[in-house]
Amino acid sequence: MQRASRLKRELSLLSTEPPPGITCWQNQNQLDDLRAQILGGADTPYEKGIFNLEIVVPERYPFEPPKIRFLTPIYHPNIDSAGRICLDVLKLPPKGAWRPSLNISTLLSSIQLLMAEPNPDDPLMADISSEYKYNKQLFLRNAREWTQKHASP
């Protein structure tokens, strides 16, 4: 019950005051199955891209973080080919930084920030990470190509 009312409140806030470049909605009226879109930020290789995400809200939310993954392929050191995201706020302590005071809006904003500023020191994709660190021009070109191929409207 607490989860349902909190999710309704969060979704209402997301629809009336969404963070810039982020939208989120229920998938087929399932309260625990959400979809989100993040627009690639200006001056990033993801610019003009529209990235779709799946959000599965666990039974124990907000005491457990939602499972979020990219449905749109993205070339990024912290996001793997299955769309899984390496981000501390998506994991429970001690390894993660999830707290019940965080919400879906905050998580989506954190993912948007991660897209703009990858963390090559905590990669899911080692090859993309070393490319980001040691051959940034190649990384930027590849990321732009993927964005045009997979995330263009």
What whole-number distance in Å separates Cα of residue 135 and Cα of residue 22?
Answer: 30
- Which one of the listed residues 22, 53, 57, 86 is annotated catalytic? 86
Handedness of CA 107, 110, 115, 120 (dihedral sign): negative
Q: At what angle do helices 104-116 and 2-16 cross, to 10 degrees?
A: 50
Q: How far is CA 15 from CA 10, 20, 21, 54, 62, in A?
A: 9, 12, 12, 17, 19
Residue 24 annotated as catalytic: no
Query: What SS3 class is residue 49?
Result: coil
Active-site residue list: 86
